[in-house]
């Protein structure tokens, strides 16, 4: 039994690959290394550099590696870029996912875990957002992921094929053992940016709007530790391999922190004041995005280990420091 992990050299993917290797699973990673890093995965995982839309390559991998499950992370993930270049997102995230799903069906791979996103809700009417909330993405990124969810739903109805779509909220932190983390240059994620500002890698951090309808006026998000998210994937794989039906589940902790609360956490963890600037809202940012989480707890029996903002920040900061050393070498 082998798990094929697409995009396994990326931020979340590499955490799953480590988690699978930790429990002795055979893993093949398919990654084009456009944004991921070959050093982010353990040496025992096989890395195949290639495109998930390459039908011949998929056929070879699924014929020769004994793959019984696929976890699909590969895709483009920058929301503003998706607004400027929607066809790139429908190509990379929707069209190529179709190729991968078709290959799974052709080769009888019955278990498929998909990286979806809270962006499928758009501006949710209900907070915390349940999985059956109205799906109304406000960006091509969210639409491209939702279209893949729809394909999976329909394919699972027509074929002997089951899937789990995990809708990630705000993923943050890094491997508690320091083996991988968020390494993308120019990432815009709040906790990463705040750590970079503390380390002097950026002159300051800007708060994107303080006039939202939230308790302190800044945006509220459900920050989930990437190691807990990786565990959710492992549980989702076990569940599907055990024959359970398809599932769509939010991945978050069910509680939100404002931008100011996050910045205060970074100041607590570092013991230093951050260079903060208040600026206008960023286009397309919802006021509040928090997951309703009863489903993931009930279906996956998921027990988060790192549900603590200062711990998330501490791990993110440790990784940023490790990256500085790595980039110097």
Window of 3-11, 56-64, 116-124, 157-165 that interacts with ligand UFG by CB under 6 A: 116-124
- Beta pairing partners, 242: none
Q: What are phi and psi of 251, to 5 degrees?
A: -120, 100
Q: Which of 99, 261, 267, 285 binds ligand UFG (CB under 6 A)?
A: 285
Any idea how long the chain is?
Answer: 329
Q: Which of 16, 118, 316, 323 binds ligand UFG (CB under 6 A)?
A: 118
Of residues 75 through 114, those in contact with ligand UFG by CB under 6 A are: 77, 79
The answer to whether 165 contacts ligand UFG (rule: CB under 6 A) is: no
Window of 128-136, 200-208, 231-239, 302-310 that interacts with ligand UFG by CB under 6 A: 200-208
Q: What DSSP letter does each residue of 39-99 carry, written as one string?
A: GGS-TTSEEEE--TT-HHHHHHHHHHS-EEEEEE--S---HHHHHH-HHHHIIIIIIHHHH
Contact, 180 vs 130, CB < 8 A? Answer: no
Strands 26-31 and 46-49, sheet pairing: parallel
The answer to whether 221 contacts ligand UFG (rule: CB under 6 A) is: yes
Q: Is 141 a residue of the active site?
A: yes
The answer to whether 129 contacts ligand UFG (rule: CB under 6 A) is: no
If one counts every other C-beta atom within 10 angstroms of the C-beta of residue 278, the result is 13
Contact, 256 vs 288, CB < 8 A? Answer: yes
Q: Which CB, 206 or 270, lies closer to ligand UFG?
A: 206
Q: Which of 10, 140, 181, 219 binds ligand UFG (CB under 6 A)?
A: 219
Residue 39: partners with Cβ closer than 8 Å, 6 or more residues away: none
Min dist CB 170 to ligand UFG, Å, is 5
Q: Which CB, 28 or 173, lies closer to ligand UFG?
A: 173
Q: Which of 134, 282, 297, 321 binds ligand UFG (CB under 6 A)?
A: 282
Q: Which CB, 152 or 207, lies closer to ligand UFG?
A: 207
**E-assigned strand segments in the chain:** 2-6, 26-31, 46-49, 67-72, 111-117, 162-168, 170-172, 205-208, 220-221, 223-225, 247-251, 257-258, 276-279, 288-289
Nearest CA to 237 out of 301, 168, 175, 164 is that of 164
Give the pair of three-digit tokens for residue 93.
Answer: 């995230």
The answer to whether 183 contacts ligand UFG (rule: CB under 6 A) is: no
Q: Which CB, 19 or 207, lies closer to ligand UFG?
A: 207
Min dist CB 57 to ligand UFG, Å, is 27
Q: Per the residue annotation, which of 11, 89, 121, 141 is the catalytic one?
A: 141
Q: Which CB, 69 or 191, lies closer to ligand UFG?
A: 191
Degrees to nearest 5, angle at CA 245 with 107 and 228: 95
The answer to whether 229 contacts ligand UFG (rule: CB under 6 A) is: no
Q: Active-site residues: which are they?
A: 141
Binding-site ranges for ligand UFG (CB under 6 A):
77, 79, 117-119, 141, 170, 188-190, 193, 205-208, 219, 221, 259, 282, 285, 289
């Amino acid at each position: 039994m082998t798990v094929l992990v697409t995009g396994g050299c990326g931020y979340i993917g590499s955490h799953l690959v480590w988690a699978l290797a930790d429990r002795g699973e055979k893993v093949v990673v398919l990654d084009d290394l456009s944004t991921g890093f070959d050093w982010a995965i353990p040496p025992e995982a096989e890395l195949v550099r290639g495109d998930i839309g390459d039908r011949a390559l998929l056929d070879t991998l699924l014929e020769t590696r004994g793959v019984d499950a696929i976890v699909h992370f590969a895709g483009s993930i920058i929301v503003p870029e998706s607004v400027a270049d929607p066809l790139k997102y429908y190509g990379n995230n929707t069209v190529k996912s179709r190729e991968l799903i078709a290959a799974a069906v052709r080769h009888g791979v019955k278990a498929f875990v998909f990286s979806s996103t809270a962006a499928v809700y758009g501006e949710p009417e209900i907070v915390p957002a349940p999985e059956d909330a109205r799906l109304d993405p406000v960006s091509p990124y969210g639409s491209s992921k939702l279209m893949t969810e729809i394909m999976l739903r329909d394919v699972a109805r027509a074929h002997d094929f089951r899937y789990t779509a995990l809708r990630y909220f705000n993923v943050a932190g890094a491997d508690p053992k320091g083996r991988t983390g968020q390494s993308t240059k120019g990432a815009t994620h709040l906790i990463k940016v705040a750590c970079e500002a503390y380390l002097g890698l950026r002159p300051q951090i800007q708060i994107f709007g303080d006039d939202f309808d939230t308790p302190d006026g800044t945006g509220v998000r459900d920050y989930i530790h990437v190691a807990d998210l990786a565990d959710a994937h492992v549980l989702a794989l076990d569940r599907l391999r055990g024959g359970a039906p398809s599932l769509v589940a939010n991945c978050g902790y069910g509680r939100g922190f404002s931008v100011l609360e996050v910045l205060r956490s970074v100041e607590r963890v570092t013991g230093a004041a951050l260079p903060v600037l208040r600026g206008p809202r960023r286009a397309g940012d919802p006021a509040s995005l928090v997951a309703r989480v009863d489903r993931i707890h009930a279906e996956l029996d998921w027990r988060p280990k790192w549900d603590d903002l200062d711990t998330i920040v501490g791990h993110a900061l440790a990784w940023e420091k490790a990256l500085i050393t790595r980039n110097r070498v």
